[in-house]
């Protein structure tokens, strides 16, 4: 690579990153990005004196600080006055109109994260400072540089402070917490805490791994000339920052209210958590006239959304036993209305969480409900205790069948395969949508069938007859016949549904589809080697599958005979050819889509896998082949261009 190629490559990478992280509009695949990135890394290793300050390699989080130094903001970071309802908003508007009758209002989301001040000088990001007390914050430039939606350089050369909120998208938040749950670490209470905690990490690689996002909402010191805030913000967005998902300029309270209602309505669908809408006077000259109180600007207000967090009391902790035997604790709380929904239960995740948060019966707690997720307890109000609260003792016996629980540390498990909770939940799972999708097998019916002794496992469902059902309490002719029809209709389903319905640990819908496609009815005879060679199936899954087959082979055969699932169409045995029985990996851009080439190879009897390993026989590559090509070369895998592959066929 020549110097000019390097400069062009950095520029390209920054453009791709902007499209990906700022505009949500990716231009290229990750693979193509990685390839160019590695070329840049290689050049920089050979020419360390020529590294550009805006090279994406400069974002790599490998700096460990001993602590953060204090740093003054160039101009103060303010807080916001809150309005909690329409009345509050009206009062704020009256106050504001008294100062200036002829103003309009810029409305944008109030993001729920941690505020951050970015200082750019001569077009370069020179400092990132937390809000702190508004005058002095902490210098966290190294961490800030790992945030991909913050440009390292901008096309504006005067000194400017760009302020905004650092957030964690809701999906990323769930991902982080799931990982923490698995590792037995304390969970983050909400995306705000997760964002704030991630920003102040001494090891910037931790910050980098958290996928933080920066959303600008204003400027401090600046030499911009715009008359209106909305123009000023458009200028900022155009420097390479993310736009809000929704924004508007409003003339009066009715317009403000309709934007507010819209935002409230859209709230759940946004990637980031919002806690309200911020309304700001749009005319900069009027902002300057209105000025500030000791704490807040007179020209802005936060019109809050109804809180998703409420205080309530823990009345009881009950235990649920799932189909795998895992026992999960659930808190029963004093019923509380949260944004229109009465919450009575909150998940406690697992027993470690109860210990860690020290949740006691009678405790006052903060619960959070957001989206479709189950409400959770995010904090115990320890200072509210009066001594009557009762510590919760970890159970040793299954709450349903009383058999001894296996204590795995984080998880407690009921080991009894005949435990009614396990059986009932397995049947419910068997009948659920992503499995056999049997209508009319609700929990009441399943419990009745189980407790009558008629159904002890899913196989028994198919021995039910009208006479037997009519003997049960509450089963009239119509209800019984409906149930029998529904069971009859479960026959002839797709084979992956059948596999999924078996409820094999670690084998969900996606893996069931893979297994069904790869082996068809023959999956019971697959070897471990066969299984792990499937895309997306690892050791743990393969072992779980094999163990299940070992224990349940008879049941599988019996169920399959009853349910007559459809065998996925098997390819005809391929004639002898160089690809038959071989494993191939595809990479780069080819003359046909990868799906089409995969199909061609599979018809030749090859297995097409997603990643290169020692087991790969061929790597077939097109233009812009990336890291897979490098890996294949390093492993000595035969690499064929597309035309070379075709020549062999």
Report the alpha-carbon distance of residue 379 to residue 270 in Å, rounded. 25
For position 110 contacting ligand IVH by CB under 6 A, the verdict is yes
Taking the complex as a whole, how short is the minimal distance between the CB of residue 89 and ligand IVH, in angstroms?
A: 15
The window from 103-111, 467-475, 503-511, 629-637 that contacts ligand IVH (CB under 6 A) reads 103-111
Q: Residues 6 or more apart from 126 whose CB is under 8 A from it? A: 119, 120, 141
Q: Which stretch binds ligand IVH (CB under 6 A): 104-112, 135-143, 421-429, 538-546?
A: 104-112
Of these, 165, 283, 352, 389, which contacts ligand IVH (CB under 6 A)? 165
Contacts of 233 (CB under 8 A, 6+ apart): 106, 108, 216, 218, 247
Binding status of residue 304 toward ligand IVH by CB under 6 A:
no
Q: Is 228 helix (H, G, I), strand (E, B) or coil?
A: strand
Q: Which is nearer to ligand IVH, 257 or 602 (CB)?
A: 257
DSSP-derived letter for residue 292 is B
Site for ligand IVH contains 80 (CB under 6 A): yes
Residue 205 tokens, joined: 């690689």
Q: Which residue in this structure is represented by tokens 């903060």?
A: 366
Choice from 6, 16, 111, 579 touching ligand IVH (CB under 6 A)? 111
Alpha-carbon span 325 to 312, nearest angstrom:
30
Sign of torsion over alpha carbons 27, 28, 29, 31: negative
By beta carbon distance, the residue nearest ligand IVH is 115
Are 113 and 130 spatial neighbours (Cβ–Cβ below 8 Å)? no
Q: Which one of residues 302, 542, 585, 608 is an interface residue with ligand IVH (CB under 6 A)?
A: 302
Indicate the burial class of 263 (C-beta count within 10 angstroms; 0-12, 13-18, 19 or more). Answer: buried
Q: How far is the CB of 336 from ligand IVH (least distance, A)?
A: 25
Closest CB to ligand IVH among residues 104, 336: 104
Q: Which residues pair with 333 in a beta bridge?
A: 314
Instruction: Count CB neighbours of 123 within 10 A.
Output: 17
Cα angle 454, 460, 464; round to 5: 65
**Least Å from the CB of residue 69 to ligand IVH:** 21
Residues labelled catalytic: 110
Decide if residue 115 touches ligand IVH (CB under 6 A).
Answer: yes
Residue 61 has phi, psi (to 5 degrees) of -90, 85
| Cβ atoms 151, 18 nearer than 8 A | yes
Binding ligand IVH by CB under 6 A: which of 151, 220, 297, 626? Answer: 297
- How many amino acids of this chain bind ligand IVH (CB under 6 A)? 15
Per-residue string for binding with ligand IVH, 326-365, x by CB under 6 A?
----------------------------------------
Choose which of 36, 89, 278, 534 interacts with ligand IVH (CB under 6 A).
Answer: 278
DSSP 8-state class, residue 117:
E
Q: Is 79 in the site for ligand IVH (CB under 6 A)?
A: yes
CB 126 within 8 A of CB 329: no
* Stretch 385-404: interaction string toward ligand IVH, x if CB under 6 A: --------------------
Closest CB to ligand IVH among 65 and 75? 75
Query: Which residues are at the interface with ligand IVH (CB under 6 A)?
Result: 78-80, 108, 110-111, 115, 131, 165, 217-218, 278, 297, 300, 302
């Amino acid at each position: 690579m020549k110097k000019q190629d390097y400069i062009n490559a950095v520029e390209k990478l920054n453009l791709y990153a902007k499209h990906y992280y700022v505009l949500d509009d990716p231009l290229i695949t990750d693979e193509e990005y990685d390839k160019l990135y590695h070329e840049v890394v290689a050049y920089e290793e050979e020419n360390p004196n020529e590294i550009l300050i805006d090279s994406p390699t400069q974002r790599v989080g490998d700096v460990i600080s001993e602590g953060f130094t204090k740093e003054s903001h160039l101009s103060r970071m303010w807080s916001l006055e809150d309005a909690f309802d329409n009345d509050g908003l009206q009062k704020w508007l009256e106050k504001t109109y008294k100062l200036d009758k002829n103003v309009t209002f810029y409305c944008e989301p109030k993001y729920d994260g941690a505020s951050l001040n970015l200082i750019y000088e001569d077009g370069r990001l020179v400092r990132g400072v937390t809000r702190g007390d508004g005058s002095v914050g902490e210098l966290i430039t190294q961490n800030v540089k790992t945030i991909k939606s913050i440009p390292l350089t901008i096309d504006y050369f005067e000194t400017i402070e760009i302020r905004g909120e650092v957030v964690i998208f809701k999906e990323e938040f769930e991902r982080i917490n799931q990982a923490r749950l698995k590792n037995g670490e304390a969970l983050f209470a909400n995306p705000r805490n997760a964002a704030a905690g991630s920003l102040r990490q001494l090891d910037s690689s931790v910050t980098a791994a958290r996928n933080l996002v920066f959303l600008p909402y204003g400027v401090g010191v600046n030499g911009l000339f715009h008359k209106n805030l909305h123009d000023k913000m458009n200028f900022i967005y155009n420097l390479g920052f993310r736009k809000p998902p929704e924004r508007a300029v409003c003339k009066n309270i009715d317009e403000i209210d309709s934007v507010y209602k819209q935002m409230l309505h859209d709230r759940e669908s946004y990637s980031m958590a919002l806690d309200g809408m911020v309304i700001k006077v749009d005319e900069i000259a009027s902002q300057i006239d209105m000025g500030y109180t000791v704490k807040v600007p007179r020209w802005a207000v936060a019109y809050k959304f109804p809180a998703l967090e409420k205080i309530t009391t823990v009345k009881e902790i009950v235990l649920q036993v799932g189909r795998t035997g895992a026992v999960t604790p659930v808190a029963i709380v004093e019923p509380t209305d949260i944004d229109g929904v009465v919450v009575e239960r909150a998940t406690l995740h697992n027993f470690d969480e109860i210990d860690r948060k020290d949740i006691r019966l009678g405790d006052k707690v903060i619960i959070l409900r957001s989206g479709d997720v189950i409400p959770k307890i995010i904090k115990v109000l320890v200072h509210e205790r009066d001594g009557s609260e009762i510590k919760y003792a970890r159970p040793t016996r299954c709450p349903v069948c009383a058999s001894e629980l296996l204590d795995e540390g984080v998880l407690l498990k009921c080991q009894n395969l005949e435990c009614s909770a396990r059986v009932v939940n397995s049947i419910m799972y068997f009948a659920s949508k992503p499995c056999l999708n049997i209508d009319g097998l609700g929990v009441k019916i399943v419990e009745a069938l189980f407790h009558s002794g008629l159904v002890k496992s899913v196989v028994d469902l198919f021995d039910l007859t009208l006479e037997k059902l009519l003997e049960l309490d509450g089963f009239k002719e119509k209800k019984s016949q409906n149930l029998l029809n529904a069971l009859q209709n479960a026959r002839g389903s797709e084979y992956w549904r059948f596999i999924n319905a078996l409820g094999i640990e670690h084998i969900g819908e996606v893996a069931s589809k893979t297994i069904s496609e790869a082996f068809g009815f023959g999956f019971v005879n697959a070897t471990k080697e066969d299984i792990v060679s499937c895309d997306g199936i690892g050791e743990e899954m393969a072992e779980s599958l094999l163990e299940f087959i070992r224990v349940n082979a008879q049941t599988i055969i019996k169920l399959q005979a009853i349910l007559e699932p459809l065998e996925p169409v098997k390819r005809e045995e391929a004639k002898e050819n160089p690809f038959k029985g071989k494993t191939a990996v595809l990479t780069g851009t080819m003359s046909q889509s990868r799906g089409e080439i995969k199909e061609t190879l599979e018809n030749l009897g090859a297995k097409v896998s997603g990643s290169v390993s020692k087991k790969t026989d061929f790597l077939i590559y097109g233009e812009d082949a990336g890291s897979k090509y490098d890996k294949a070369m390093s492993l000595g895998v035969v690499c064929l261009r597309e035309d070379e592959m075709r020549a062999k066929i």
